[in-house]
């Protein structure tokens, strides 16, 4: 057997034992999946998006399966910051692996306040700003489609975060994500993660009704992987030229270790596993192991694989 | 404790029109299973269909997990093709089951609602000399096999079953709620203290209303589209009586009827 490959990476200011994280909104607050994963199997997790106040979310139906994917319109339902700090974060802090808190505000001021209160928590390793949710009316994607707004939100969060790394989660619902990534980098983000879900819809021809109560929702799962790869490659290339210290975290449709490897090759330093966890609660751990096997076979470390696309 | 495993199919046989009984080798899940809980089952290892399907636990017997399912769409159709010896990714047991501590429980099942109710009956038969079930079906043509299976599995003399059918082919013609109303009106003073119900949503709604009217506690087993089954995706929202939502997979699938907003659901 060949010696163990070095899977550790430093991404967006956070040291990870391996480059696989669980994606926001698909892994709850971590504990939901603890029966299914060995402790330390993944590099860490990104929490469900936290807002200042609790949010009930959208009326059902909120999810629908589509060809090789699914739509969701959860509406950022979450327990709110106080409950998160009191009852979700303490357990998470005790687990091995990085804790990245995904957060969502309806205004620049809310992003700043969230960043400040979460940045003060020793158990939090990084903040991920969700400026890309397609399922809420205020904020969300509205912030993520204009470089100026992305820069403003990022700068406010960075100022509040007391040195804690800030990542910005980008939307694919733009023609070119690179200007948003550059704006985030310029404003002090240490990483950008992409992609969030693609705005989409599904219709029941029998009843002529939309299949989601919200009419539209976000598409995720294997169907979106080619879009994610393209955007990660575009963003990684742009950042390399202008902000080489800012990292890319790649996601969208990762179902296997090979899928994860493809994202690293395209330029990501780390990856996130989302919808795959719904299809197999142990998926994130399995993907980390498969990625390690791939790296061993290729004779490269995870860090070396990153950005190794031969064009 | 819930867990995930590749469960070997021991049998998967039709027991009626479009109705199958699946038996899986999953001792760790079967041993932990309680009536009213469910499992998530991946009918195909590939990306199509992508999501697992939720199924109530119909029985847990010597390490075997029993699932009674009806063919509805592409996932359940594919499931009919699972041969003995093949493996299906399964996780569970999941969710909140029935609270079986009542003194005088009454079970109410509509159609495929018998799947979890049968498991509850097995439990209750260990505790009571007599267990009462009201069972509503569309008609015997569709449900004859189900009734036979039911009678076979629950053949214990302790189970007293009354049927209603929409076409009048078995039991009382009408809906199971007609039976329930009659039962409430005639069973004094030994009126049930709790109703445990599973079936289609309109039935559950009617059962919940009747129970409220007669001041009988009511536990309903609810369905919602699910992605994860473990409380993480928040897809399975059920409108809650006090506003907001409950997760069918976590606060349910069995919920006190009084916790549910039956108008919004
Ligand atoms: C807690 C729970 C327990 C269940 N127990 C049983 C059981 O014991 N026996 C049984 O026959 N059926 C049961 N069902 C319903 C069963 O899950 C659906 O019939 C099945 O998912 C249909 O899948 P399909 O691919 O054949 O249909 P499709 O219509 O092709 O499914 C498409 C999508 O819709 C979802 N969906 C469709 N119908 C339902 C439904 N009624 N409830 C929730 N999601 C649905 C599917 O999961 C899938 O994601 C249960 C549902 C829940 C939530
Ligand atoms: C049910 C669901 C809920 C999600 N919630 C969030 C969220 O709260 N914040 C966020 O930034 N992204 C959220 N996402 C997006 C995912 O983190 C991810 O970007 C997207 O699903 C694409 O990855 P995937 O194809 O691997 O799922 C959610 C996705 C799903 C399916
Ligand atoms: S099915 Fe995912 S939270 Fe209930």
Q: What is the mean pLDDT of chain B?
A: 92
For ligand 1, atom 47, the nearest C-alpha belongs to B53
Distance (Å) from CA A238 to ligand 2 centroid: 24
- The span from the CA of B23 to the CA of B66, in Å, is 5
Task: Give yes or no for residue A252 CB within 6 A of ligand 2.
Answer: yes
| Per-residue model confidence (pLDDT) at position B79 | 98
Place of tokens 């209303």: B209
Measure CA A237 to chain center.
19
Triad B108, B109, B112: Cα angle to 5°: 170
| Residue A47 near chain B (CB below 8 Å) | no
Closest chain B residue by Cα to residue A282: B4
Bridge partners for B12 per DSSP: B22
Q: For B233, which of A56, A58, A63 is closest by C-beta distance? A: A63
Cα A259 from Cα A137, distance rounded (Å): 32
Which H, E and C letters describe B71-91, residue by residue?
Answer: CCCHHHHHHCCCCCCCEEEEE
CA B112 – CA B200 distance, rounded (Å): 8
Residue range(s) occupied by CATH 2.40.30.10 in chain B? 3-94
Contact A33, A184 (CB under 8 A): no
Evaluate: CB of A26 within 6 angstroms of ligand 2.
yes
| Of B47, B234, B264, Cβ closest to residue A57 | B234
Q: What's the N-to-C CA distance of chain A in angstroms?
A: 32
Ligand 3 center to A139 CA (angstroms): 25
Partner residue facing B1 (CB), from A35, A62, A68: A35
Query: CB distance from B91 to chain A under 8 Å?
Result: yes
Q: Quick one: residue A97, left, alpha or beta (phi over 0 = left, psi -120 to 50 = alpha)?
A: left
Q: Which ligand is nearest to the CA of A77?
A: 2
Mean pLDDT, rounded, for B2-7: 95
Spell out the per-residue pLDDT of chain A, length 311, in tens: 445 789 999 999 999 999 999 999 999 999 999 999 999 999 999 999 999 999 999 999 999 999 999 999 999 999 999 999 999 999 999 999 999 999 999 999 999 999 999 999 999 999 999 997 666 655 566 788 899 999 999 999 999 999 999 999 999 999 999 999 999 999 999 999 999 999 999 999 999 999 999 999 999 999 999 999 999 999 999 999 999 999 999 999 999 999 999 999 999 999 999 999 999 999 999 999 999 999 999 999 999 999 999 98
Record: fold of B3-94: Elongation Factor Tu (Ef-tu); domain 3 (2.40.30)
On whether the pTM is more than 0.90, the answer is: yes
Instruction: Note the pLDDT tens digit of each residue in B234-252.
Output: 999 999 999 999 999 999 9
| Catalytic site includes residue A295 | no
Inter-chain residue contact B227 with A63, CB threshold 8 Å: yes
Tell me the chain B residues in contact with residue A74 when contact means C-beta distances shorter than 8 Å: 233-235
Taking one residue from A and the other from B, the number of pairs with CB-CB distance under 8 angstroms is 102
- The values of phi and psi at residue A127, to 5°, are -115, 140
Q: Is A197 on the interface with B (CB under 8 A)?
A: no
A138 SS3 class: coil
A69 contacts A275 by C-beta, under 8 angstroms: yes
Name the closest residue on chain B to residue A211, using Cα atoms.
Answer: B225
Does the distance separating the beta carbons of A36 and B3 come in below 8 Å?
yes
pLDDT of residue B152: 67
Please name each of the domains of chain A with its CATH number. 9-58+73-199+220-305 (3.20.20.70)
Position in ligand 2 atom list of the atom nearest CA A220: 25
pLDDT for res A1 = 40
Q: Give the distance from residue A65's alpha carbon to the nearest chain B alpha carbon, in angstroms.
A: 7
In this structure, are residues A38 and A64 in contact, taking their beta carbons and an 8 Å threshold?
Answer: no
Instruction: Please tell me the CATH code under which domain B105-220 is placed.
Output: 3.40.50.80
Residues B111-118 have a mean pLDDT of 92
Tell me the average pLDDT across B173-193. 90
Residue B140 pLDDT more than 90? no
State both tokens at A135: 């399922």
Is residue A271 within 8 Å of A264, Cβ to Cβ? Answer: yes
Contact A18, A8 (CB under 8 A): yes
Distance CA B168, CA B60 (A): 33
Domain boundaries for CATH 3.40.50.80 within chain B: 105-220
Query: Chain-centre distance of CA B159, in angstroms?
Result: 17
Beta pairing, strands B53-56 & A198-201? unpaired
Task: Please tell me the predicted confidence (pLDDT) of residue B262.
Answer: 97
Q: Which of B39, B52, B233 should be mutated for ligand 3, with most atoms under 8 A from CB?
A: B233
Q: B3–A70: do the CB atoms touch at under 8 Å? A: no
User: For position B17, what pLDDT does the model report?
Assistant: 84
Candidates A10, A17, A234, A218; CA nearest to A126 is A10
Q: What is the DSSP string of A62-100?
A: -EEEETTEEEE-----B--HHHIIIIIHHHHHTSSSEEE
Does residue B138 have its Cβ closer than 6 Å to ligand 2?
A: no
B164-177 per-residue burial string, b: 16 or more CB within 10 A, e: under 16: bbeeebbbbeebbb
């Amino acid at each position: 057997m060949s010696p163990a490959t070095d899977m550790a990476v430093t991404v967006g200011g956070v040291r990870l034992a391996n480059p696989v994280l669980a994606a926001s909104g698909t892994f709850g607050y971590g504990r939901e999946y603890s029966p299914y994963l060995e402790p330390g199997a993944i590099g860490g997790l990104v929490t469900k998006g936290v807002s200042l106040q609790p949010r009930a979310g959208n009326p059902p139906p909120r999810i629908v399966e589509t060809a090789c994917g699914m739509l969701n319109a959860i509406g950022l339902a979450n327990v709110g910051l106080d409950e998160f700090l009191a009852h979700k974060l303490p357990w998470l802090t005790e687990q091995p692996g990085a804790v990245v808190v995904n957060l969502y505000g309806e205004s620049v001021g809310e992003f700043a306040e969230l960043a400040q209160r979460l940045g003060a928590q020793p158990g939090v390793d990084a903040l991920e700003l969700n400026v890309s949710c397609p399922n809420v009316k205020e904020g969300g994607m509205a912030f993520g489609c204009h470089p100026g707004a992305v820069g403003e939100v990022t700068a406010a969060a960075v100022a509040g975060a007391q040195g804690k790394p800030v990542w910005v989660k980008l939307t694919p619902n733009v023609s070119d994500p690179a200007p948003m990534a550059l704006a985030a980098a310029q404003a002090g983000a240490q990483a950008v993660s992409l992609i969030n879900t693609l705005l989409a819809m599904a219709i029941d021809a029998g009843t002529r009704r939309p299949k989601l109560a919200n009419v539209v929702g976000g598409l995720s799962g294997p169907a979106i992987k080619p879009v994610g790869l393209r955007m990660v490659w575009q963003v990684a290339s742009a950042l390399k030229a202008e902000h080489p210290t800012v990292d890319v975290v790649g996601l969208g449709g990762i179902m296997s270790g090979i899928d994860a490897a493809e994202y690293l090759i395209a330029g990501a330093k780390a990856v996130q596993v989302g919808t795959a966890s719904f299809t197999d609660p142990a998926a994130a751990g399995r993907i980390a192991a498969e990625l390690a096997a791939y790296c061993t076979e290729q004779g490269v470390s995870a860090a070396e694989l990153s950005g190794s696309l031969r064009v | 404790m819930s867990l995930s495993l590749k469960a070997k199919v021991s049998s998967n046989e039709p027991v009626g029109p479009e109705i199958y009984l699946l038996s899986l080798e999953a001792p760790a899940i079967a041993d932990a299973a309680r009536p009213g809980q469910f499992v998530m089952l991946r009918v195909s290892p590939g990306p199509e269909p992508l999501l697992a399907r939720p199924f109530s636990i119909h029985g847990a017997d010597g390490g075997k997990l029993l699932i009674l399912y009806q063919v509805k769409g592409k996932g359940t159709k594919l499931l009919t093709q699972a041969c003995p010896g093949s493996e299906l990714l399964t996780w569970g047991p999941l969710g909140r089951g029935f609270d079986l501590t009542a003194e005088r429980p009454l079970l109410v099942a509509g159609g495929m609602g018998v799947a979890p109710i049968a498991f509850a009956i097995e439990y209750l038969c260990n505790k009571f000399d007599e267990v009462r079930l009201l069972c509503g079906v569309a008609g015997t043509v569709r449900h004859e096999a189900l009734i036979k299976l039911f009678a076979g599995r629950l053949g214990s003399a302790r189970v007293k079953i009354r049927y209603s059918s929409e076409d009048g082919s078995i039991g009382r013609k009408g809906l199971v709620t007609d039976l329930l109303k009659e039962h409430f009106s005639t069973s004094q003073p030994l009126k049930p203290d709790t109703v445990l119900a599973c079936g289609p949503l309109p039935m559950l709604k009617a059962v919940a209303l009747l129970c409220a009217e007669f001041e009988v506690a009511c536990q309903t087993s609810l369905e919602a589209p699910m992605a994860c089954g473990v409380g993480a995706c928040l897809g399975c929202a059920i409108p809650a009586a006090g506003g907001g939502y409950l997760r069918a997979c976590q606060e349910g699938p069995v919920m006190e009827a009084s916790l549910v907003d039956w108008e919004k659901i």
